[in-house]
A and B are shown apart, each in its own frame.
Chain A
Amino acid sequence: MASFLLNRLFQALVTAFGVITLVFFIQRLTGDPTALLLPETATQKDFEAMRQTLGFDRPMIEQYLSFLGDMIRFDLGRSFIQNAPVSEILASRFPQTLQLAGGALLVAFAIGLPVGVIMALTRGRAISRWIMGLVLACQSMPTFWSGIMMILVFGVWLKWLPPSGTGSLAHLVMPSIALGLLSLATYARITRSAVVDELGRDYIRSARARGVRTPRLVRKHLLRNSAIPVISITALEISQLLAGAVIVETVFAWPGLGQLTVQSIASRDFAVVQAVVLLGAWVTILANLTADILYSLVDPRVRLGNQ
């Protein structure tokens, strides 16, 4: 177990290093933010002065080495657009992203799981196909469209929910649904096929033959034994949710990492982009690792280290 963890962490470190290096260089291919920082009337002299202040006049490799030095000291640097330490900015945004991702996962889970089970149990019947169609329809619309429609219907017309922003549980409802719908079909599908697989097994057949009723069967056996694929998909979904949140956060003015990513890339706020990407990489890595550990807890047949 320990050597497995060490090995995985080492690989994660290598991946994170690769990500950060790649991001460092490719974003610098796109120019620097000097033009954005200066007013329209700035002269060439102003530009050079600003470049010097920000350190963009130094050779690329020198910038990279000093950046690596900062990373080793856990110094994420400063945002020259927001004029604040990057760690502070991340600290204010990360909880918002967690809330939204949590809300979305809850939506996807709470609807996707039962729908998947129902589809498995009604397999082969028309109803199953209709439900699947409905689920797929939910993710067949761009979020920038479904988002604004939800705002107009529930925020403007019915006035049930605040149209945008943060501050209360009510604010979380629409963005969570908009984001959760994207994962819903995945959950429903995975659950369905996992349950279908289990249904074909001998122990279920014999339990059925003994007269165990369906709800009990689902509770006692199916859910637990279908958990592995669901867990593994959750690990993938979490990183997807962080990425997919860009548009949802923009539409609902949700101040999470997605919006921060777009704005920092668009303003060439290098330090923030690097930190966000690094954070995202670690979340992905840790989610996958947690999923692996959970497997072994849920299903003792899976041995860590044989991956």
Chain B
Amino acid sequence: MASATRYRSRYIAGQLLAWWPAILLGLMVLMAILAPLIAPLDPNRQDLLGRLKLPGYEGRGGTYWLGTDELGRDVLSRMIYGSRVSITVAVLSVLLSGIVGVTVGMLAGYLRGWPETILMRLVDIFLSIPAILLAIITVAVLGPSFFNVILVLALTRWPRYARVAYGQTMSIARRPFVTLARSMGCSVPRALLLHILPNIISPILVVATLEFGLMVLFEAGLSFLGLGVQPPTASWGAMLSTGRNYVTSAWWIATFPGLALFLLVLSANLIGDRVSDIIGKGR
């Protein structure tokens, strides 16, 4: 009896250990949702007399546990709020690019003929246009905004999903269960949604989990190039790209958001790796 309990608790501990990335990711999502409740100070509250102060600084607003940034704002509160931007941008851009890409890919792979030619050439064209070009043009034409950051990421990433979905759809579109459904009067959208999508979803999920981490990094890269979310909104990428100018004088500005960003991407990557292993075994 006692040994069974011990066995079970050891099992649970093992599982916890194996799935720590998922737990960490969950905690970060929780932090993003609860940001207004747990952030000790207003993330945008500046104090020009309290700039670049060490962690633990007692300032006008209270205690700055992780120090202040170049405008005297609380690094901890900005980090907590920053999780919202980094995570939301990644989630929404994965969703948007995934939906667009998979739709295009499935249509091309299922319909073949001229829709295939047009759609897949479109995919090639988009793959050939540098992401930075799309980013600058989107901002120039539509103006800078939170949603446009997501749009930029989706515009540059959807062709990857399209390729995967296209290949997978082609390989199963001529299987009997699909042709049978069609001959029984099932419409194209219905066939795609009910018969094809469930059969190609696994490899797409693998791509999506791997893309998630990449999107977090891309958002950071856009911030570095001055094309990210608008200041003073905090995002981990924006904090890191400012903080890198203060590495030797105020290390805390970059270190904490940098660590958070690193852990977020790493857990996403580890989960992606895990998922692709599991799905790979299943096939």
Contact = CB atoms under 8 A, between A and B. Distances in A.
Given A30-B140, A136-B270, A143-B221, A273 B133 contact: yes
16 contacts: A14-B121, A18-B124, A19-B128, A136-B269, A137-B266, A139-B265, A140-B265, A141-B258, A142-B217, A142-B241, A143-B221, A145-B241, A152-B247, A193-B280, A261-B132, A280-B130
Interface string A1-44: 00000000001001110110011001101110000000000000
B127 A29 contact: no
Given A139-B269, A142-B217, A15 B136 contact: no
Contacts of A226: none
A50 interface: no
Given A18-B125, A30-B141, A280-B130, A140 B225 contact: no
Nearest to A143: B221
A265 interface: yes
A118 interface: no
A37 B90 CA distance: 37
B251 to A, nearest CB: 11
Q: Which size class do B's interface residues fall under? A: 35 or more
A292 B170 CA distance: 19
Interface string A255-297: 0000001100110000001001100110011000000000000
Contact of B213 (A11, A140, A148, A276): A140
B224 interface: yes
A185 interface: yes
Interface string B242-278: 0010011000001000100110011001100100100
Contact of B137 (A26, A137, A246, A250): A26
B172 interface: no
Contacts of A165: none
Interface string B105-135: 0000000000000000110110111111100
Contacts, number: 118
Given A141-B217, A142-B220, 11 more contacts: A22-B125, A26-B141, A136-B273, A137-B262, A139-B265, A144-B240, A145-B258, A152-B247, A185-B269, A243-B130, A261-B133
Contacts of A19: 125, 128-129
Contacts of B273: 132, 136, 189
A140 B127 contact: no
Contact of B136 (A11, A30, A239): A30
Q: Which size class do A's interface residues fall under? A: 35 or more
What are the 5 A-B residue pairs with the smallest beta carbon separation, nearest first? A30-B140, A281-B128, A140-B265, A140-B266, A136-B269
Given A30-B137, A136-B270, A15 B130 contact: no
B237 interface: yes
Nearest to B18: A129
Contacts of B247: 148-149, 152
Contacts of B131: 243
A55 interface: no
Nearest to B258: A145
Contacts of B270: 132-133, 136
A108 interface: no
Contacts of A276: 130
A198 to B, nearest CB: 14
A8 to B, nearest CB: 12
Interface in B205-247: 213, 217, 220-221, 224-225, 237, 240-241, 244, 247
A86 interface: no
Given A142-B224, A145-B240, A148-B247, A284 B128 contact: yes
A82 B153 CA distance: 30
Given A152-B247, A266-B136, A140 B130 contact: no
A21 B176 CA distance: 41
A179 interface: no
Contacts of A241: none
Nearest to A27: B137
A27 to B, nearest CB: 6
A165 to B, nearest CB: 19
Given A22-B125, A152-B248, A247-B225, A142 B261 contact: yes
A243 B133 CA distance: 10
Interface in A99-148: 132-133, 136-137, 139-145, 148
Contacts of B220: 142, 144-145
Contact of A23 (B122, B129, B237, B241): B129
